[in-house]
Amino acid sequence: MSALTEHWIERPGYRLRLCQAGEPSRPLVLFLHGYPDSQRMWQEIMLRLADSYRVASLDWPGVPAEEPRQPARRYRIAALLKDIEAVIETLDTSQVHLVGHDWGATIGWSFVTHPQYSKRVLSWSFISGPHLAIWRQWAREELGSLQPRRMWPALKQLLRSTYTLPLLAWPLGESFWRLGGVPAWRLVLRLAGVPHGDPMLNESRIQVMSMALGPMALYRQNIFHPPPLPPHASVTCPVQLIVAERDPFVSEAGYANLTDYVTDLRIARLPGSHWVTRSHPDETVALLRSFLEEVA
């Protein structure tokens, strides 16, 4: 099994940590992590795929712990897309297979639907993270129908999303993480599917603060200022939606309008919660490997 090597990418006023493995001549699979975690969540899956692919992942600005906390503007999706582009340039390749989870999936969606960056994407696999504008369009249409059968799934999703309220109100979110610290972080991850004994649960307080405090701006910077809605049928690369069937935060119903925008959508399901990549790594690897082999 290959080992992960660590590199740093210099950006204007900050730097990004990049981990990679696998032969440089092989197709590149780039992994994007969500909140509140780091690229560590992908490491086991990356190592298992490194026998067939070149794999890489990055941490968002301000992570890991030794990096200074970054201003909120660094977490605007438009800025993070430039970070992804810088990573691809550093890896000296023209196109990638992209994989995202949680906010990594939401940010990845904007990369996949961007007129310029989309040319970089060979395929797109995502878990538990919608395109903000596509999701908002679905919610508006369902609620605007005034039909209880259609309104109820959207209302349930809004209820699932109430956890974002303290994260949107900066002082509340800051207080929650500073007071709760590592125990609060472990509780969140355990409730959302990270199994007991997982190495992800062993992070230090300073690392938890780096993952939770600065990147919390993802909510404030993007939810009320989503990227533009892409044109219909504009996503032409193969797309794999992996549904975590017991996800308490993101419902499958919220993806109902994806076929309006994606010309080649495949849907797979795993019987896990939000961090299904940690609770079901074998099944996740199998789905990714099968999809990548097929689209290749």
Instruction: For residues 153-168, give the mean pLDDT.
Output: 96
Q: What percent of the chain has pLDDT over 90?
A: 98
3-state helix, strand, coil in the chain (%, to 5): 50, 20, 35
Q: List residues bridging with 126 in a β-sheet.
A: 100, 241
Q: What is the pLDDT of residues 238-270, one digit of tens each?
A: 999 999 999 999 999 999 999 999 999 999 999
- The amino acid that residue 126 corresponds to is F
Please state, in angstroms and rounded to a whole number, the distance separating the CA atoms of residues 189 and 172: 19
**Residue closest to 292 by CA, chosen among 266, 269, 258, 271:** 266
Q: List residues bridging with 244 in a β-sheet.
A: 270
Tell me the average pLDDT of the chain: 96
Q: What is the pLDDT of residues 8-18, one digit of tens each?
A: 999 999 999 99
C-alpha distances out from residue 164 to 161, 170, 197, 249, 273, Å: 6, 11, 27, 10, 18
Strands 5-11 and 14-21: antiparallel
Predicted local confidence at residue 283, as pLDDT? 98
Q: What is the pLDDT of residues 57-79, one digit of tens each?
A: 999 999 999 999 999 999 999 99
Predicted local confidence at residue 1, as pLDDT? 54
Token couple for 205: 């307080």
Predicted local confidence at residue 168, as pLDDT? 96
Provide CATH code, domain 5-295.
Answer: 3.40.50.1820
Q: What is the pLDDT of residues 194-207, one digit of tens each?
A: 999 999 999 999 99
Q: What is the pLDDT of residues 112-133, one digit of tens each?
A: 999 999 999 999 999 999 999 9
Q: Using the predicted structure, report yes or no on whether residue 224 has a pLDDT greater than 70.
A: yes
Instruction: For residues 94-110, give the mean pLDDT.
Output: 98
Relative orientation angle of helices 132-144 and 103-113, to the nearest 10 degrees: 100
Residue 143's contacts (CB-CB under 8 Å, 6 or more residues apart) are: 151, 154, 155
Q: Using the predicted structure, report yes or no on whether residue 296 has a pLDDT greater than 90.
A: no
